[in-house]
Amino acid sequence: ELSLGDFATAFETGVKGVMMRGKANLGEKTMIDSLLPAVDVLKAAAAQNGILSAAIHDAERAAYKGMLDTVPLIARKGRASYLGERAIGHQDPGATSSYLLIKTASETLSDG
């Protein structure tokens, strides 16, 4: 059985690997803008001995907000960075696909 703490640690390790590989940080209009808020929620829930299904649901909401927060940003990394200011007003595809992965995990791990 996978505990919330184990899930949070594994998820965080994966996101850190993506950040290191892509040299990306929060606010650069990348998948990190969805993933890192989800990590923070999972870690906080694990620290409070939360329930995995509830924590992943909360992580989904955080990832969704992070995805939407990419709309006004200028892309600093990845292919979207080639667009420069033309990327403003558009949701980042990497953040969107990352949100969809977290959403699917939430649906899969839900109690209902």
82-87: Cβ within 8 A, 24+ apart: 87/29
Q: Quickly state the pLDDT bin for 99 (edges 50, 70, 90).
A: very high
DSSP state, residue 82: G
Q: Which two tokens stand for residue 42?
A: 């999972």
Length of the chain measured in residues: 112
Does 68 score more than 80 pLDDT? yes
pLDDT at 111: 60
Give the Cα separation of 44 and 69 in Å (integer): 21
Of 65, 18, 10, 17, which Cα lies nearest the Cα of 43?
Answer: 10
Q: Report percent pLDDT > 90 for the chain.
A: 83
pLDDT in tens, 37-51: 999 999 999 999 999
First to last CA, the chain: 18
pLDDT at 84: 85
Of 35, 18, 7, which Cα lies nearest the Cα of 109?
Answer: 7
Give the Cα separation of 64 and 3 in Å (integer): 23
Does 94 score more than 90 pLDDT? yes
